[in-house]
Structure 1
Amino acid sequence: MHIGKALALMSLSSGALSFKIRAYSGKDCSGSAHEVNVWDNTCRNTDVPPTNSFRVLAYGAHRQRAAFYDQSKCIGGQPWTDFWADGGSDTFKKDACINLDFDASAYGSRSA
């Protein structure tokens, strides 16, 4: 009985993390807005609005990078950019408005 409780507690405390943003359709955090979670070490390419700018709401785990892609898949080769998503970036800061140079339609999180 105690083992079951211990396992449940461990699974809750070591649960997946994600970075969370509020994505905007326009520059300078204007236009329609949509909140999006991107779980660590995943690609988010569904339910992603065309994003010209965003505001960071929460950081991911230690050593995670947040990437933004112009196609609806998380691969390099096309315009894309990334930031430290764990709070260690001088750009990817909570409540800061971050402009992209393209319309992002997929977001990724990867361990670096």
Structure 2
Amino acid sequence: MHLGRLFVLSSLDFGVYSHKGRAFTGTNCSGQAKEINVWVNTCRDTAVPKTRSIRVPEYGGHRQRATFWAEQISAHCGFMWQNSNSNWWADGGSNKFKKGLCINLSGTCNAFSSVSA
């Protein structure tokens, strides 16, 4: 019985992501849409559509920054914010990255990352 509870509790940790967004191919949350999960301190550049805008369905982890990159290669999805198209706090601490809002990115993005700050 105790092992079963331990397994259930430990398996809850594996679903932690830094932020989630609905990626749109057009501006103003138009065009084709796809939900993208970005795990804590990772870069997501596979199965990401050419994204022009996003809608935030829920916040991510505490002190995480959501960063959006033009490059689709992981080597270019580094943690140099000055090379990103857009970045905000993903934990609700941003005045723009808010749940339910549509956010137009400053260009077309092909990779999303999460940075612990």
CA distance in 2, matches of 1:39, 1:8: 21
RMSD: 1.6
Partner of 1:84: 89
SS of the counterpart of 2:6?
helix
CA distance in 1, matches of 2:32, 2:13: 34
Q: Which has the higher strand share?
A: 1
Which ranges in structure 1 are unaligned for 5 or more consecutive residues?
none
How far is the alpha carbon of 1:24 from its aligned partner? 0.7
Give the counterpart letter for 2:103 in structure 1. I
Percent identity, aligned pairs only?
Answer: 48
TM-score if structure 2 supplies the norm length?
A: 0.84
Deviation digits for residues 24-49 of structure 1, max 9, x if unmatched? Answer: 11111111111111112111010000
CA distance in 2, matches of 1:78, 1:104: 12
SS of the counterpart of 1:14?
helix
Q: Which stretch shifts more, 28-37 or 77-86?
A: 77-86
TM-score if structure 1 supplies the norm length?
A: 0.88
Q: Which has the higher helix share?
A: 2
Q: Count how many residue pairs are aligned between Structure 1 and Structure 2.
A: 111
